[in-house]
Amino acid sequence: MGLRTPSGTGDTSGRPGHDRQEAGLMAGFDELKRNINDTNEILSIPLPVVLAPFLALIRSPLSTGPITATALAAIHNFFTAGLINEHSKDTQRALGELSNSLAHCKFEATDSSGDEVVLMRIVNVIDTCQASVVDEAQRIAASMR
């Protein structure tokens, strides 16, 4: 999958622990794929279930910078496509988990420009999340007038 080898293990052949962790990360995407295939309406899937495999990659110290950046870009796209909104199932819990994952983001530093991309994507997701929350608050305030 392109995940890094945990430093300090010295084991580069086989790496059963690494392989299990990588398989665990991929299992989340397999489960999400099954959930999506089993429903006619993606918005019926609770948002924490949709975000879980992406958030696991963001929190995983096995993830390289490009993988983390891609997971962050996907979450940003979920906001811009309207998948993450006030009508999504369990939005509050999902946003809490997103916030926690962004705060605990771990990735293998590779090169300074790649690392900067990850940091920029984190800021981008936070900005998009904040903007969507502010937009919703403004819509609610306007409807109360």
Q: What is the mean pLDDT of residues 17-37?
A: 84
Q: What pLDDT, in 10s, does the model give residues 53-106?
A: 999 999 998 888 999 999 999 999 999 998 888 888 888 899 999 999 999 998
Three state DSSP letters for 57-75? HHHCCCCEHHHHHHHHHHH
Tokens 């790496």 belong to 15
Spatial neighbors of 37 by CB under 8 A, at least 6 apart, are none
Q: Dihedral (C-alpha) 37, 42, 46, 48: value to the nearest 10 degrees?
A: 80
- pTM metric for this prediction: 0.80
One-character DSSP codes across 30-54? HHHHHHHHT-S-GGGS-HHHHHHHH
- pLDDT value of residue 31: 93
Encoding tokens for residue 105? 């983001």
- Gap between the Cα atoms of 54 and 73, Å rounded: 10
* Per-residue pLDDT band at 13 (split at 50, 70, 90): very low
Residue 79: CB partners within 8 Å, gap ≥ 6? 125, 128, 129, 132
Burial class, 53, CB count within 10 angstroms (exposed 0-12 / middle 13-18 / buried 19+): buried
